[in-house]
Amino acid sequence: MNSHQQGIRAALTGVLVNILLAITKILAGVLGNSYALIADGIESTSDILSSMVVMGGMHISARPADEDHPYGHGKAEPLAGVVVAALLLVAAGWIAVSSVIEIRNPHHAPAPFTLAVLAMVVALKEILSRRVLKVGDAIGSTAVRGDAWHHRSDALTSAAAFLGISVALIGGAGFESADDWAALAACGVIVFNGIKLLRESVNDLMDATVPTETLEMVRQVAASVNGVVAIEKCRMRKTGLELAMDIHVIVNGDLTVRAGHAIAHEVKDRLLAADRRIADVLVHVEPHDAEHGPQRRSGAEDEGRGMREGG
């Protein structure tokens, strides 16, 4: 199973689980007089939409490059991540507003059986969140990690509702709105993670650099190729679940074009083999003068004279 298929399967699992839990929570909330549980159930419907967005983004990003998209469709994955993060923030806002309304309009205390429903929800959603997050980390998908946090936010609001309902039942008269206060408090955690995920997705869309340790690994692999004198530049960016990069290697300036081309090919092959996420490598060969060091040229001359090896 490739990375895109893993992401789609994780999202599909989330859809199925959330459909079941949304129905269960809304029915239990109506019958048990718990607005926090009803709100939690409605929030689960946003999780269904979130997982469907992730499935769509993963499906599109898996498409190969074509005439209209010569660099592939990888940007669909972080774009889905932006949508998922936005949905998370919208859900938090909706729950916060609804909780405030309920706090200002006291209602009857929830039924005790709602605690059992919430305990089951917390356990299931936390298990689901951890499994989806594990997949997201494994394949490097911000969108899938965002979907995992949607599941965890559901677990958090359910845990908050459990605590609030417990307080309402133990405290008796005057504590009926405890579950609403608990739901309101959980919104702060949801907003924090929504903003964090939104920032990560936007960074991917804007071609932010990859972690320093990844760049260092790439430099070491390229420098180990026979004939490479040094590494001048190395730039990498995420494109969906994959990495694209260009690297400038310095070689003996007296080599023939054919010899320089062979070194460039070896660098590319080594890098593609070093990390399965690296999908595209552009190698630029710079000449080295034994007496004076690397020969420097202007950017315009680099474009006109530089020898590039992209395939």
Place of tokens 């239990």: 28
pLDDT (0 to 100) of residue 249: 93
How many angstroms separate the Cα of 55 from the Cα of each of 72, 145, 199, 280, 310? 17, 13, 21, 24, 31
Closest CA to 268 of 248, 283, 256, 257: 283
Find how far residue 86's CA is from the centre of its chain: 13
φ, ψ (nearest 5 deg) of residue 247: -140, 140
**In Å, what is the CA distance from 131 to each residue of 90, 110, 134, 160, 275?**
24, 32, 5, 22, 23
Instruction: Please state the φ and ψ torsions of residue 65, each to the nearest 5 degrees.
Output: -65, 150
Distances (CA, A) of 292 to 33, 75, 276, 287, 295: 82, 43, 38, 11, 8
Give me the pLDDT at residue 250, please.
93
pTM for the whole structure: 0.66
Please state, as a whole number, how many other Cβ atoms lie within 10 Å of the Cβ of residue 264: 25
SS (H, E, C) 106-152: CCCCCCCCHHHHHHHHHHHHHHHHHHHHHHHHHHCCHHHHHHHHHHH
Nearest residue to 175 via CA among 120, 256, 103: 103
pLDDT at 35: 67
Residue pLDDT, tens place only, 68-78 = 888 888 888 88
Residue ranges in 62-113 assigned as alpha helix (H)? 76-104
Q: Which amino acid is at 9?
A: R
Beta carbons within 10 angstroms of residue 100's beta carbon: 14
pLDDT for 25 equals 83
Paired strand residues for 249: 231, 285
Q: Where are the domains of the chain?
A: 3-205, 212-309
> First vs last Cα of the chain: how many Å apart?
26
Domain 212-309, CATH: 3.30.70.1350
- Kindly tell me the sign of the dihedral angle through the C-alpha atoms of 149, 150, 155, 158: positive
Are 104 and 123 in contact by the 8 Å Cβ rule? The answer is no
Report whether 179 contacts 36 (CB < 8 A). Answer: yes
pLDDT score, position 268: 93
Q: Which two tokens stand for residue 27?
A: 């029915």
pLDDT at 106: 65
| Per-residue pLDDT in tens (0 to 9) along the chain, 311 residues | 577 788 888 888 888 888 888 888 888 888 887 766 776 777 677 778 778 888 888 888 878 888 888 888 888 888 888 888 888 788 788 878 877 887 787 666 677 888 888 888 889 889 999 999 898 888 788 788 888 887 887 788 778 778 877 877 787 666 767 777 777 777 777 788 788 878 888 888 888 778 888 889 999 999 999 999 999 889 988 887 788 889 999 999 889 999 999 999 999 999 999 887 888 899 999 998 654 455 444 343 444 344 444 44
- Alpha-carbon distance of 279 to 2, in angstroms, equals 14
Would you say domain 3-205 falls under CATH 1.20.1510.10? Answer: yes
